[in-house]
Structures are given as C-alpha cells and as structure tokens.
A and B are shown apart, each in its own frame.
Chain A
Amino acid sequence: MQITLADIKRGQQAIITDVSSIHIPLKLLEMGCLPGNLVELVQVAPFADPMYLNINGTHLAIRKETAIHILIDITNA
C-alpha cells in the first residue's frame, strides 16, 4: 500500500513522490506541494484534521481529504 500525506506522524519527514493533479488545487502545487519537495507535519487539529504542514519551507494547513491525494516517502521513521 502506498503511503499518503494523510498517514504522516508528527516529527516524521517525508519526500513528496507524486501528486494527483486532478484532485489537488493548482494553488497548493504553486505553494510548493510538488514531487521532490520535503514535507513535515507540524501540528494536527483535534480529530486529526486539518493538518498543519511545513512543505518546502511554506507553513500551511490543508484538510485530510486533500492530503490523501499526495503520495510520500517517509525518510525518517
């Protein structure tokens, strides 16, 4: 099974491997959510949603329904 950004735990770092350009708003891609970029989970709101992420130096919050369309490789467990 492939790991998506929705599965990332706090303190873990990951590399984005693929994004589904149909499900992800272009705006998010433009903010740096692109394959090859580093992503880290900073904080989660109660009920684990939305997620507060640091993607490529940009700090932003997205909903889990968006995060499941972003594939990642976890680089530190």
Chain B
Amino acid sequence: MPKQINVALIGNPNTGKTSVFNALTGLNQKVGNYPGITVEKKEGVCKLPRGVKAHIIDLPGTYSLNASSLDENVVIELLLNKNDKDFPDVAVVVSDVENLKRNLLLYTQIKDLEIPTILAINMSDRMTYKGIQLDIPLLEKELNTKIALISTRKNKGIDQLKELMINFKELSTKPCVNASEIDTNYFDSLRNAFPNQLLYKLWLVITQDVNFGKTDRNEVDAINSFKTKSKADLKRLQQKETIKRYQFINNTLKKGQTIDLKSAKDLRIKLDRILTHKVWGYLIFFVILLTIFQAIYDWSSIPMDFIDSVFASFSEWTKNTLPQGAFTNLIAEGIIPGLGGIVIFIPQIAFLFLFIAVLEESGYMSRVVFLMDRIMRRFGLSGKSVVPLISGTACAIPAIMATRNIESWKERLITILVTPFTTCSARLPVYLIIIALVIPEGRFIGLSYQALTLMLLYLIGFGAAIFSAWLLNKMLKIKGKTFFVVEMPNYKLPLFKNVALTVIEKTKSFVFGAGKIILAISIILWFLASYGPGDEFNNAEDIVTTEYASKDLTAQELQQKIASHKLEHSFIGIAGHAIEPAIRPLGYDWKIGIAIVSSFAAREVFVGTLATIYSVGSDEEETIKNRMAGEVNPILGGPLFNFASGISLLLFYAFAMQCMSTLAIVKRETNSWKWPTLQLVGMSAFAYVVALIAFQVLK
C-alpha cells in the first residue's frame, strides 16, 4: 500500500463538489494556477485511515469530458496524461442525488478511460424529502463500481468515502458503455492505426481542440493527422455517443432508482416565481445590491480606519526607532505605506466576497444572470457580466478574475475591458477630498449635494462601462460561437464552512497576487520621489534653509518645506513639471501633475502625494483640504481648486486607467499585451478629453 495516493474530485457544477473537497481537506488546502494557464488549481491533503495520505485535487466543474472552456480543458488534460504528477490513482465522481441521471453521463465517460472510479452521491439527506429511493447494491453492480452515499451538510458518509479511496485497487476498471458502437468501421480503423492506445482516449483527442501537455504532444499530432471525418460528422457522432450513454443510464436508473413524485416538493419553482419575476425579481435584486454597497462602504469603514491608523503609527514608530538613513526611509515611507495600501482593502474585499459567496452558494446568482442577460446582451455583454461589474465596485482585480465562466470569448473580453470603469474603492479617497473641496454644502430634497455628487460619480462609472461595451461590441470583429446555457440550481442554505473558506481564499489571493504588484510599485514610487538629479535636489536642505532663514519657522515646518522642495525636484517632480503644459488646459498645475503621474500606478496614491507636496506632516484629510483650498491658480488667478477644475479632476479620475495591478491582471487573463495597452491608452485619452471639455465649459 503506497503511503500517498492521488485522488481527483470530478463532477458537474452545483453538485456540492467543493463541499466534499472542504469536508475532506478542511484548512489543509492551497490554491494555485495550473502551469502556464490562469485556471485555478485547488489541492489539499486528506488523512486516510492506516497512515495513508490522499493528495486531493479538486478539478473544475464540468458536465462532460467534451471541453468548451479553459476550465474544462484542465479536466481532460489531466485525465488523459498518465505522466502528469497529479494523474489520479482513483477518481471520485461527485454527483447530486436529484440530478443523478445527468451526473452519470460524466461518470460513464470517466469509466471509459479505465481509471478506478468511485461514485459519491451527495446531498443524500434530501432523499426522503424528494421521495427518492436508491438500490445501492444493484447500482454498484450495473455501474461496475463502489458507491458512497454522502451528505456534507449532515457530515455523513465521508468516512465511508475515505475507506473506498484506500481500497481503490479493488475497483473494477471495466467501462460501462461501448462507445465504439456508434460507428464501428471508423473505430475499427482507429484501433488498427493506433493499436497501443486506449480507444476512448483517441476519440476524445480527435474530437476536441485541447492544448495537451508537452509529454503527449507528438502522439497527439499523429492522431490529429488522422482526422478523416469532417467537423459536422464528428459532432453528429458525439451526439450519437451522448444518446447512447443516456440510454444506458436510463436503463440503469429504471432498475435502481424510484422517485415518488407526490412527495417531491419543489421549493425551487415556488421561489423562482418571485425571484425571477418581471417586477419583483428586479426589485429584490436592487435591494440586495443596495445592501452590498452599504456593507462595503459603511460597515467596512471601521476596520479600514483602524488599519489606516495602525500603519501610520507603525511607520512613525519605525522612523523614530531605527537609525536614520535611506534604508529606514525605504521601510518607513516605501514598504510600510505600501503594505498598508494593500491591507486597507482587506475589509472591503472580504465583505464583497462574503456576499458573492453567499449569493453563489445559495443558487441566487444564476437567477441574476437570467434576469440580466437580455439587458446586458444589448451592449455586447452577457448576463454573466453582472457579477464582475458588481465586484468591480470593490476592486477590478477580483472582478476581472470573475469573468472566467463567460463562455463566449467576445463577451468575456468586452467585460474585462470595461470593468475598470466601475467605481472601485481606490477612487473613493480621491472623490471624497475633492468633493469636500469644491461641492458646496446644502441639500436638495433632503439629500446633500455632496452625497448626490458621489452617487452621480458611481452612475457615471457604470454608464461609461455600459457605453464602452456597446462601442466595443460594434468595433470588435470577433467571430465565434456565442452560446449561453446556465443551469438553475436548487436553492440551498449556504454552508458556513464553504463561505468562510471562499472568503479566506479569495482575500489571500488578492493580498498575495495584487499585493506583490502594489508593493513593488510603492517602492519604485518611493525611489522616484526620494531621489533626483542635480543640485536643486541634492542641496535641498541648504537651499530651503537659506530661503527661509529670515522667516521664523519651527524645525518641523522647515523639515516639511525641505521635503516639499525635494519632491518638486525629484524624478517624479520633474515628470510632473514636464506634463504641466499638457494638463494646464484641464485646470491643473504641476503639483497636481505630480499627483497624477504617481497615481498612474494606483489612484489612492493621489492623496498621499498631495500631502507631501503641500508639506503637510500627515495625510490627515482636513489639513490637506485646507492647503488645497488656499492654492492659487498661477495663470488664471483665483483658487486653483474651484468648481471647474474640481469637476474636471473628478471626471479624470472616474475614467482614467490608473491601476498597474489591473493592467497586470488583464495581461494575464487575455494572455496578450494588446488589450491592457488598449485599455491604458483608450481610457486615459477619454478621461483627458472629458476633463478638458468639463473645465473649458465650466471655467
């Protein structure tokens, strides 16, 4: 008996496969990417009896071994490649007791690959409720396997499943269905051409366009050259194969399953009458959205303020404790604020994923997709684009990762390209300070002007996303099948464990994924802002001290003046000056220029940069606001931040693509530099033009 065995969990979506994975592995799991592609790879370790360990790999949900997305490719690629280090010793097909018929299709296909396979029938606690009875011994005989009846909700049957895994060698590897009967002549000629290969494996390789791993490459090419049938013929054969499998399954279930329809109470239909209703459906969705926004902005502000102050005092403490020097500055002004910039988003991201996980787990999300599909399709999006667009209000990075389940490449690409327009949380600090500065206090039917402006900015963000989607839909010439099939799963009460693990996992992947980039950029920015060429920068202290010698400044004020002078002549300062002619028509001066240049890495840097440039000791918003209010426009006179330049700046931040991390994710998800470049140039140019018009009209 080997001490470690490989187990692959396979199953249809919505069968509770992830619950089984969580029940087996608990916190012993990790998420990574499959080598070379962006599909998530979930692995975990499960302790089996008698000192055996199972390395469990949770494969993406799939309806069959005929892949139609990258996620599904992963499944067959693994199952066809015996040399893969993850190749399973035993496959566990997870099935849901109510959809046994459909789930068995995948089971019979995997059986045909002659891999030892266990059938795990999940949600067994619902059997009596649904009036379902199963003759397990008979099913085991017909299906040539062992069956584990489990319920992750009631924590039943998991031990039995583990026991079956250990004894995998006793499982039969005989196929259930003879697929070659669909076209005997063709399959015979295949067998003669490749006598050493498994016939069903050959058939799978021939019928799909899969990126196979390097190991099998040569073999696959040889098989590819054997495509003697046209695509349409192959598809017809696949249909025949599917019918054949269903015939076998129907015969088997006729003997082994009884369903008493009278005792089946379908909650799904009753709830759907309301939740997908033409009026109530949208109303409920709207209320849920409002709750999510409320949570993201209101509830998360408390932990966010706390994190902010902890990092600020930690930075202060480092500066005062460690010996003075460039290294201390790097830590106190580059690394700690950089880390703070990542950690501060954790509450918002966690709240967002909490809601999304609950909505997904409960089955509600499919209903939203159903409700929104028609509306979104007008703009070249899919009903499935709703989730990324909502997620985008917290952060575009996880939102773009959430586009992976959109089948049509065009719809997915458009969703990826427009998602950064939705108002992410990093825009909020910028909005708040400028609104406070230029929008007068006062009320309009009970609502403050300032709150209304903020709401308007959110609407503008959504509007821009929808409008650009419409535009891209007209412009992009991408052909390809755009089909749309969404399963409407049964409603379920979300399992706390599943929700908690999802939130932890997604938050972790944000912190370590996007975090690395944000941190790296913070360090680069710190460097560019802390060093500069020439005497103006290097002798800043002397220059400032001489200049202000006559004035009575405290030591602290003098330090701030020096810092400000240094920033002006640092590399970033030089860049800010350089772009001044370009941004003057928008109503900005070189100081705002510096803030814009530095916030091309990440928007929230704006406030911090202004704090330094106006030589304010801390980034206390009130103080920065007062300084900003006192600024005078060098050309036009009057306050620099007036209504016109304020609106112009708000619009600029609403549209410009100022987030390196998002660009990095888009590069990864689209696997090309073309799309992130287009985003950067297109969005920024649009932002510039809109800001220009706004300022010129309003000034």
Contacts and interface: CB of A to CB of B under 8 A. Distances in A.
Interface of A: 19, 21-22, 25-32, 34-35, 42-43, 45-47, 49-50, 52, 56-63, 66
A23 to B, nearest CB: 9
A61 B488 contact: yes
B326 to A, nearest CB: 59
Contact of B66 (A22, A26, A42): A26
A31 B484 contact: no
Nearest to A54: B269
Contact of B239 (A21, A47, A50, A57): A21
Interface of B: 63-64, 66, 68, 98-99, 101-102, 105, 232, 235-236, 238-239, 242-243, 246, 268-269, 272-273, 276, 278, 366, 369-371, 373-374, 377, 383, 481, 483-489
B242 A34 contact: yes
B408 to A, nearest CB: 11
Contact of B235 (A22, A32, A49, A56): A22
28 contacts: A21-B238, A25-B481, A25-B483, A25-B485, A26-B239, A26-B242, A27-B66, A30-B105, A30-B242, A31-B63, A32-B101, A32-B102, A45-B276, A45-B278, A45-B371, A45-B373, A46-B278, A50-B370, A50-B484, A52-B276, A57-B98, A57-B99, A59-B487, A60-B485, A61-B369, A61-B486, A62-B485, A63-B373
A26 B235 contact: yes
Contact of B102 (A19, A31, A35): A31
Mostly helix, strand, loop or mixed at chain B's interface? helix
A32 B272 CA distance: 21
Mostly helix, strand, loop or mixed at chain A's interface? mixed
B483 A42 contact: no
Contacts of B64: 26-27, 30
B101 A56 contact: yes
Contacts, number: 110
Contact of A50 (B98, B101, B246, B374): B374
A63 to B, nearest CB: 5
Contact of B101 (A45, A57, A60, A66): A57
Contacts of B369: 61
A34 B269 contact: no
Nearest to A62: B485
Contacts of A50: 370, 373-374, 383, 484, 486
Given A30-B102, A59-B268, 7 more contacts: A27-B483, A45-B370, A46-B278, A46-B374, A50-B486, A63-B373, A63-B377
Nearest to A58: B102
The 5 closest A-B pairs by CB, nearest first: A59-B488, A21-B239, A30-B64, A61-B486, A25-B483
B97 to A, nearest CB: 12
A47 B370 contact: no
B246 A21 contact: no
B239 A52 contact: no
Nearest to A24: B483
Contacts of A21: 232, 235-236, 238-239
B111 to A, nearest CB: 16
